[in-house]
Structure 1
Amino acid sequence: MQIKQNRLRLKASIDVICLLTSQSCPLRGHNETNNSENQGNYLEFRKVLAAYNKDVSKVIQQAPYNAKYTTPSIQKEILHIISNKVRNYIRQEIGNSKFFIIVDEAQDESKTEQLDHVLRFVYKYETIRERFFFTLIIRVFDTTAATLKRELCSVLARHNLSVENSQGQGYDGSSNMRGEWNGLQALFLSDCPYAYHVHCFAHCLQLALVAASRDVRIIHQFFSNLTFIINFIVSSPKCVDQLQSVKSDEFKRLLSIGEIDSGRGANQMSSLKRAGDTRWGSHLYSIRSLMKIIDATMLVLEHITNDKSCNSSQRGDVDVALDLMISIDFVFIARLMEEILGIANVLCQSLQQKS
């Protein structure tokens, strides 16, 4: 009976962890003591599960001190076991097939470097699959190509994946990844002469568009001004609330006179979007977001100029933003770049599907 209760308690814990991780939710809480009103997602979800099943409620409430399955170490152990099972399943899918290595680096909130590894391979019935395989936590000061290769090969070897079976590599444009002589792709290419490096075509297109725009002075100034206007609005919660209120009133007015139709997914509230040099199509979406609600944005800026609580610095920024938005050059270049980037976006979307 004790073994059966332990298994039910453990199964409830595993199910909660699987649910939270599949939804990308954190497990831990800020205060997990018994007196806490919110003990974190893991403990709170277990309570909800117990509330709908008396057997689960019984085994959780009567759990012995050494078998509660609530400590962080137990949660990490369960996650580790699940991740190993997922990797083993992916390894079975790959079988003896050739595979393509895709690697990218990113920093988390603690500025710790993380190396994400994806395997691309041909599965049954000639279907191409991409599987996220693992993440390496590495020190920022030790991201040399030799270190990255050693760590990647170590993980691949643990799952009986030979580097010689690699048929390609995909990295970003940093020198330690795609360097012709000492980059990671060159080191792998020395072990496997068929593992050619391919830089994502859509990423190359985006970087080429950004570089070309910076070489044209008026285009470079336009994007600088666009970033200034959007950052001024979105960095202020007060401005964002005013923008949403103005846009809502505009929707109500247009609906009352029959200019727009109501319905599911139609005329939804939109917000201003920042552009990023490495995010595909972000410049196009940034321009479209502003031009779509440019009247409401200008009205919000005019309200700020009449707000006596704003300081002189804020009023100065508003005056600059308004002068830019009503200028013919800004509006003309915005429409021109929206047209050009719209054409390039079709190519970008196609490249993402084929790369």
Structure 2
Amino acid sequence: MQKWEGLKNVSRHIDRRMNKQSENIVKQNRLLIRTSIRALRWLALQGCAFRGHDESVDSHNCGNFLELVKFQGELCKEIGDIILDKVSKNAKYTSPSIQQEILKIIADLVRSKIRDEVGDAKFCILVDEAIDESRRSQMTIVLRYVDCDGFVRERFFEVVGVDDTNSLTLKTHICSILTQHKLLIENM
């Protein structure tokens, strides 16, 4: 009879309990990713470095990103209860690869917004090449166009690593980027 009563009580079924537990995990993960996104957006907007030299748990200064996440945890008890050392190791959303993925998504959104501003209007590009600290050649592309209000806008659009800086290589990369973002070369 006890087993029958337990079977009749739907709230105690294993699938209900599993769903409730997974809902809590989803809510926790969303809070963690939202916290990471906020920290990354702020650091990117301020032009600050993300990582430090020693990001271990015992470090007094783990780098700007982790310190900013910790600070958010101090301000909000809900975040503080789950951040960094209190959450499982595979669900922190603070690793450098996760930071790069989030930054790539933000950059894609910005480029999409710039692309929408340009529309089908004529535009020109400014291209420059430079060699970074690790001796790799990079090419930067800046778009210049007239917006719908008649103002000339210059927007930094992309940085691309290139093998060399001869004209054919640069032309190939420029055409590839413009085509990728559906900017017609005929409008350049």
- TM-score normalised according to structure 2 size: 0.83
Q: CA deviation at 1:56?
A: 1.1
Q: 2:170 aligns with which of 126, 132, 148?
A: 148
1:87-129 Cα offsets, whole Å, 9 max, x none, are 1111111111110111112222222222111001111121111
Q: 1:28 aligns with which of 26, 51, 71?
A: 51
Letter in 2 for 1:64: S
Separation in structure 1 between the aligned mates of residue 177 and residue 78 of structure 2, nearest angstrom = 41
Separation in structure 2 between the aligned mates of residue 125 and residue 43 of structure 1, nearest angstrom = 41
Letter in 1 for 2:82: V
What percentage of aligned pairs have identical amino acids?
46
Separation in structure 1 between the aligned mates of residue 29 and residue 170 of structure 2, nearest angstrom = 42
2:163 is the counterpart of 1:162: no
Partner in structure 1 of residue 67 of structure 2: 44
Partner in structure 1 of residue 119 of structure 2: 95
- TM-score normalised according to structure 1 size: 0.45
1:6-32 Cα offsets, whole Å, 9 max, x none, are 111101100101111111111111111
Q: Secondary structure of the equivalent of 1:118?
A: strand
- Highest CA radius of gyration, 1 or 2? 1
1:29-87 Cα offsets, whole Å, 9 max, x none, are 11111111211111011111111111111121532222101111111111111111111
Letter in 2 for 1:152: I
2:133 is the counterpart of 1:109: yes
Greater share of residues in helix? 1
Letter in 2 for 1:32: E
Structure 1 stretches of 4+ moved >4 Å: none
Answer yes or no: is the 8 Å Cα contact 1:102–1:118 preserved in 2. Answer: yes
Answer yes or no: is the 8 Å Cα contact 1:6–1:59 preserved in 2. Answer: no
1:186-208 Cα offsets, whole Å, 9 max, x none, are xxxxxxxxxxxxxxxxxxxxxxx
Q: Secondary structure of the equivalent of 2:97?
A: helix
For structure 2, which runs of at least 5 residues remain unmatched after alignment? 1-23
Partner in structure 1 of residue 25 of structure 2: 2
Q: Give the number of the structure with larger relative contact order, counting CA–CA contacts within 8 Å between residues 6 or more apart.
A: 2
Q: Secondary structure of the equivalent of 1:125?
A: coil
